[in-house]
Amino acid sequence: MIKIAPSILSADFAHLGRDIQRISDADYVHVDVMDGLFVPNISIGIPVVKCIRPVTDLPLDVHLMIDRPVRYVEQFCDAGGDLITCHVEADTEENIHSAIVKIHAKGKKAGVVVKPKTPASAVLPFINEVELILVMTVEPGFGGQKFMADMMPKVQEIRRYIDAMNPACELEVDGGVDPVTCKLCTASGANVLVAGSSVYKAEDIPARIRELRG
């Protein structure tokens, strides 16, 4: 069963509650948090997560594109995040482990994310501890970029690791996912698809979500 996580980065922030209700057929709400340091863009943070928590029953998938995320993971859990993902490039291995421990102590799910240039093996120190691994299929920072099909061997490699070491772990992809590229992702073993512009630009959002789910 393929899950869809629309990214609200492509929503209209002046009508965020309405735009979250438009994706009620999805499986997660993907929330992109950017700090202007880890990525060259600034988006939204803790107060916005707190405000969107009551407007949906869907779990909030909070993608932290921030430097040293261990500093903030507990606050994102308290704000209402259900699944918190941290980039392996954003801190030391020890601090990423601490971030995962802190997220679990709050009763929430934890995940790790890899940027396009980071090898699949970078997830190995964390694979037994996390509920989800996210593979970026664009350079993080902006919605609407072109899908990097050359990330598919990495998705396949991480799928093999997951099947061997932690079969319950979900495998998510993020960036440039549309009704064509989604097929490459699922064929490579991803089971959660983030989609920003392809969902929010669709005339019929529920139909687009069904199309992406395949």
The residue sitting closest to Zn ion, measured at its beta carbon, is 63
Q: Taking a C-beta distance cutoff of 8 angstroms, is the pair 199, 9 a contact?
A: no
DSSP H/E element including 95: helix 93-105
Rounded CA-CA distance 87/63 in Å is 8
Contact 64, 33 (CB under 8 A): yes
| CA 60 to centroid of chain Cα atoms | 10
Any catalytic annotation for residue 82?
no
Task: Give yes or no for a contact between 99 and 91, defined as CB atoms under 8 angstroms apart.
Answer: yes
Q: Identify what 95 binds: ligand DX5, Zn ion, none; CB under 5 to 8 Å per kind.
A: none
Residue among 27, 32, 35, 61 flagged as catalytic: 32
Task: Give the interface segment with Zn ion, choosing from 41-49, 70-78, 157-165, 170-178 (CB under 5 A).
Answer: 170-178
Residue 27 binding ligand DX5, by CB under 6 A: no
**175 interacts with, out of Zn ion, ligand DX5, none, CB within 5 to 8 A per kind:** ligand DX5
| 32 catalytically annotated | yes
- Phi, psi (deg, nearest 5) at residue 171: -125, 115
Q: Is 80 annotated as a binding residue?
A: no
Smallest distance, ligand DX5 to C-beta of residue 136, A: 7
67 is known to lie in a ligand binding site: no
Site stretch for ligand DX5 (CB under 6 A), options 50-58, 66-74, 158-166, 171-179: 171-179
Q: List the one residue from 58, 174, 181, 189 that touches Zn ion (CB under 5 A).
A: 174
**The binder of ligand DX5 chosen from 195, 202, 205, 209 (CB under 6 A):** 195
Cα 84 to Cα 119: distance, rounded to the nearest angstrom: 21
Torsion 205-135-176-40 (CA) sign: positive
- Judged by CB under 6 A, the number of residues near ligand DX5 is 22
188 marked ligand binding residue: no
Which one among 33, 171, 174, 189 touches ligand DX5, defined by CB under 6 A?
A: 174
* Beta carbons within 8 Å of 150's beta carbon, 6+ residues apart: none
Q: Rounded to whole angstroms, how far apart are CA atoms 142 and 42?
A: 10
196 is in an annotated binding site: yes
Q: Which residues contact 207 (CB under 8 A, 6 or more apart)?
A: none
Instruction: Give the per-residue contact string, 47-66, with ligand DX5 (x = CB under 6 A; - = no).
Output: ----------------x---
CA 183 to CA 67: how far, in whole Å? Answer: 32
Q: How many residues does the chain have?
A: 214
Binding site for ligand DX5 (CB under 6 A): 7, 9-10, 30, 32, 63, 138, 140-145, 174-177, 194-198
Binding site for Zn ion (CB under 5 A): 32, 63, 174
List, by residue number, the catalytic residues. 32, 174
